[in-house]
Amino acid sequence: MSKQPSKRTSVFGSDTSGLLVLLVVIAGAFSLAAPQFLTVPSLSSMGYQLPLLGFLTLAMLGPVLSGGLNLAIIYTANISGLTLAWVLLQFGGPDAGIEAFIIGVIAAIAVGMLAGAAIGAIVAYVGAHPILVSLAMMVFLRGLGEFLTRGGDISGFPDYMRVIGHGSVMGIPVPFILFLLVAVGWHILLKRTRHGFSVYMTGSNIQAAEYAGLHTKRTLVLIYAFSGLLCAIAGILMAARFNSVRVGHGEALLLITVLACFLGGVDPFGGHGRVVPVVISLFILQILSSGLNLVGANQHLATAVWGLFLIAVMMLRSHHIKILISYLRKE
């Protein structure tokens, strides 16, 4: 009996109950305000929209857990998408076969992981701050992408790519299925592997982790390489969803990924956080966006509401931390 709650807490995190209540309250409010909110077309639309933000948020999660940040996730995704597009164009564009797509996906993932690993290597072996390194990588990838595309976009992909961006299995959107599979894999990697243990230890106290015999430099490189991998998946999804690739796709999502992590209980200083609460926070943000759209609110209002959420979360966290410190002093 005593083991069950601790196991549940290990998987879902201590913030999950509050997030689930918030999710139900927001969904209930929008279902009353907009009768079409809980209809199949509306839920299906959310299932197609959420995965892109989801993959980018998971790409941000690893670096934040390690006590860092990856500001280059959007442009890593875009440069990976451009890599896929370039390979497809070499094999005939719309007429490219599935073999060309497989080669393009491998190349896109390699480019994404290389960009992430470069950030991790500089952070680990040079000692530069992750924000500055990822910012520099962001500027580099943006400039490179604009140079290669002349500021335009690349379009005209094979029809079979529509399955990835617009297909469904038994009514469930394919992008949503892919996102859930990746989220489960990311959870297992962080909670059940030595690498995941190293990530949390590095984020908690990198010096203590080194004293404990953990290879923190290798861990940092892998953290950002996996972040680049998830960005590449997001870039491939964007190409399939929009049937085009452009350097500026998804620019507005960068800060939203940070918001989703913090709303999901991830410590901004690293060392604490879980995948499941972050996924629930993504549902909350997607419901807010879709619900406001259904009630006729301006699309930019959702961004403002997301910002208010971030402010509220930071205030609540700060309040709880002060209470904890006060309690410890009394002890």
Closest CA to 81 of 59, 58, 104, 113: 104
Of the ranges 112-121, 159-168, 285-294, the best mean pLDDT one: 112-121
Task: List, for residues 198-253, the tens digit of each pLDDT value.
Answer: 999 999 888 888 888 889 999 999 999 999 999 999 999 999 998 889 888 888 88
- Enter the pTM of the model: 0.88
pLDDT of residue 326: 53
Output 79 or 308, whichever has higher pLDDT. Answer: 79
Q: How many CB atoms lie within 10 A of CB 121?
A: 17
What mean pLDDT is predicted for residues 125-130? 92
pLDDT band of residue 295 (cuts 50, 70, 90) is confident
Output 34 or 166, whichever has higher pLDDT. Answer: 166
- Examine the pLDDT at 2 and tell me if it is beyond 50: no
d(Cα 231, Cα 108) in Å, to the nearest integer?
10
pLDDT of residue 144: 92
Q: Of the ranges 2-6, 230-234, 287-291, which one carries the lowest mean pLDDT score?
A: 2-6
Task: List, for residues 89-117, the tens digit of each pLDDT value.
Answer: 988 888 888 999 999 999 999 999 999 99
- Examine the pLDDT at 306 and tell me if it is beyond 80: no
- Examine the pLDDT at 279 and tell me if it is beyond 60: yes
**Encoded amino acid at 104, one letter:** G
Calculate the average pLDDT of the chain.
86
